[in-house]
Amino acid sequence: MGNVMELNESNFETQVVQAGIPVLVDFWAPWCGPCRMVGPIVEELAQDYQGRIQVGKLNVDENQALSGRFNVRSIPTLLFFKNGQEVKRIVGAQGKAQLQKVVEEVLG
């Protein structure tokens, strides 16, 4: 997965909340078709914005408490965090151009 971290209950706090740069978290599950379309795009963004954003994937089946904490009701859901706070949310599969636009916004 290159620059994409596997996120879970034990590393979420350090990798996302305490991260020094914005973080994109992909809430997904292996059985979710649209998630499989978004996955490769998220990995490309991790490459394109290396050093500027951190990218992680969170399996909702294995991390239900975190999904609940952030009110993730359907997947794929992409959350953007800045200084530990959610600043942007995208629900559903999006193309790379739309996601790049949001990353640029978040980076400001």
Write the CATH number for 103.
3.40.30.10
pLDDT band, residue 3 (cuts 50/70/90): confident
Q: Rg of the Cα trace of the chain?
A: 12
Q: What is the pLDDT of residues 28-78, one digit of tens each?
A: 999 999 999 999 999 999 999 999 999 999 999 999 999 999 999 999 999
- Is the pLDDT at 8 greater than 80? The verdict is yes
Which among 24, 32, 93, 102 is annotated as catalytic? 32
Residue 35: active-site member: yes
Tell me how many domains the chain contains.
1
Total-model pTM: 0.95
Domain enclosing residue 54, as ranges: 4-107
Q: How far is CA 85 from the centre of its chain?
A: 13
- C-alpha 95/C-alpha 108 separation (Å) is 20
- C-alpha 82/C-alpha 24 separation (Å) is 9
Residue 31: active-site member: no
Which among 4, 16, 24, 35 is annotated as catalytic? 35
pLDDT band, residue 2 (cuts 50/70/90): low
